[in-house]
Structure 1
Amino acid sequence: MSKPRLLVITGSSGVGKSTLSARAAASLGFSKSASTDTIREALRTQFDADELPALHRSSFESAGSGVVEDWHGTVKVLSEGVAAVVRRASMKGSDLLLEGVHVIPDAQILNDWRGAGGIACGVVLYVEEGDRHQRFIVRRERHNNRGLAHYLDNLDRIREIQREMVSNGREAGWLVMDASAQDDPVGMVEASFE
């Protein structure tokens, strides 16, 4: 029996997380996937914006602190829900692909999975060039109910979060790649499991 796999794909808004996740799930045979956005939506039904404001704002929206601190606030409010999804897959011994902006790249999530007998890979996606990142955001098929301007007006904040994620990912030994410049990102992910 093969070891259960955990694949975590993170990155700031508009870098291609959902696209790579769909391709990786299909190509690498991940039957279970979870999005931090889905976890957030489920939690929003339980807590209103007055109770947990960070749950009801975008990862890049200002909460009055620094950009990275504001993003960390949106990650923290989801951390128990994200951990529960990962823990359940680990206990069941099933593969899991977890995707979303609400994950701070660190070694712990991967090491915990490995410690339970699985294999794990963390990926931080980014787009190096600012104009290309903006074009990625403009071309996205879907935006939340706030519209395209919400993203473009916050592009500097999105890119600052990206810089922090890339730094964290490199420090933690995650696979860090510019998805816009890779010919075979799924192949790179697959090689990381070997």
Structure 2
Amino acid sequence: MLYIRKDGFREPYSRWKLTESITAAGLVNHKAYDLAKSIQRDIEGQGVDEISSDELRDIVVSQLQTIDEETAENYMTWSRVRHERIPIVILIGGPSGIGKSSVALEIAHRLGIKQVIGTDTIREIMKNMIAPSLMPAVHYSSYDAWEAITYRVREDKVIVGFREQAKAVCTGINAVIERSLREGISLVIEGVHIASEFIETSPHVVMVNMYLDNHETHKARFISRASATHVRRDAQQYIDSLDAIIRIQDYLRESAEEKGVPSLENREFEKTSAAILGIATRKMKALLT
């Protein structure tokens, strides 16, 4: 059996653990796994049963350089992030039903981040702690928060209601981010409430906004999500509210553009995940420079 030595301790070589660290560099899962398996085979073929983590890193870098120099550089970046225990918070915003949760889980998996939080969870906590009379907007779904607006407004009431809700929930999001960075814990936060105008920026925070322009595809994803997850929420209620959801999407894109936050259309899961990973990698390279 092959062992990896680090900080005076040793642990069995794990193809899955190495695969995870290689996918952070941008290599797709099956290619990363094949490389991890090949590296184990080559080392054991030399009659070696123990190497240091630094030696393993150098082997991986050497192998990746034969594939692509940038991928090798990305691997070294994320290796340093892990070694120096640098926390990172990735925020994935966008309207309901476009695949944020799936992408968030994939990004967390590739980067070895153990915590993924949905902003609806934060809203639910606030809803249970704060009376409707004090903060009415958080007691509605994002697309019908306009019902909490009892005063006359000149702007789009859907957006006014959503902004009130998002501003409140972002207070909780910012608190979670602040504590996470203070304690050195990396996490991914996803949800409709990630409105760029209300999020506090940090060199350790990576924020992206997702959208989907094809409304028929958007409807289909609501139906697919309802059947795949067996959630109690009826897909039809989202479809019936699609006009409000699209208006929220437009607001989120405008807010992101004003703050210089990248917006990505989630047409293909793999491409979107790779794009977000690339954005996070560039941010970490800048942080480490």
TM-score (normalised: structure 2): 0.60
Q: 2:103, 2:269 within 8 Å by CA — same for their partners in 1? A: no
Q: 1:107, 1:172 within 8 Å by CA — same for their partners in 2? A: no
Q: 1:6, 1:121 within 8 Å by CA — same for their partners in 2? A: yes
1:180 equivalent among 267, 270, 275? 267
Counterpart for residue 149 of structure 1: 236
Closer, same or farther: CA 148–182 of 1 in aligned 2, 3 Å: closer
1:140 aligns with 2:225: yes
Counterpart for residue 120 of structure 2: 37
RMSD: 2.1
Structure 2 distance, partners of 1:73, 1:107, is 11
Which protein is richer in helix relative to its size?
2
Counterpart for residue 180 of structure 2: 89
Structure 2 distance, partners of 1:104, 1:164, is 9
Following superposition, the deviation at residue 171 of structure 1 comes to 2.5
Gaps of 5+ in 2: 1-83, 283-289
Residue pairs, 1:60-139, within 5 angstroms: 60-61=143-144, 62-63=146-147, 64=149, 66-106=157-197, 109=200, 111=201, 113-114=202-203, 118=204, 120-139=205-224
More deviation, 80-89/138-147: 138-147
Following superposition, the deviation at residue 84 of structure 1 comes to 1.2
Q: 1:107, 1:173 within 8 Å by CA — same for their partners in 2? A: no
The Cα offsets for residues 97-129 of structure 1, whole Å up to 9 and x where unpaired, read as: 1111112124952x3x22xxx3x3211111111
Structure 1 distance, partners of 2:266, 2:221, is 11
Counterpart for residue 171 of structure 1: 258
Q: 2:174, 2:199 within 8 Å by CA — same for their partners in 1? A: no
Q: 2:92, 2:207 within 8 Å by CA — same for their partners in 1? A: yes
Following superposition, the deviation at residue 51 of structure 1 comes to 3.7
Structure 2 distance, partners of 1:40, 1:12, is 15
* Identical pairs, percent: 26
Aligned residues: 188
Closer, same or farther: CA 107–191 of 1 in aligned 2, 3 Å: farther
Stretches of 4+ aligned residues off by more than 6 angstroms: none
Q: Looking at CA atoms only, which structure, 1 or 2, has the larger radius of gyration?
A: 2
Closer, same or farther: CA 79–106 of 1 in aligned 2, 3 Å: closer
Gaps of 5+ in 1: none
Following superposition, the deviation at residue 82 of structure 1 comes to 1.4
Counterpart for residue 24 of structure 1: 107
SS in 1 for 2:104: helix
The Cα offsets for residues 44-85 of structure 1, whole Å up to 9 and x where unpaired, read as: 221243443211101110324511111101112223221211
Structure 1 distance, partners of 2:127, 2:181, is 25
1:159 aligns with 2:246: yes
The Cα offsets for residues 130-165 of structure 1, whole Å up to 9 and x where unpaired, read as: 111111112113587552232111100000110111
SS in 2 for 1:39: helix
Closer, same or farther: CA 89–49 of 1 in aligned 2, 3 Å: same
Structure 1 distance, partners of 2:137, 2:230, is 19
Closer, same or farther: CA 165–192 of 1 in aligned 2, 3 Å: same
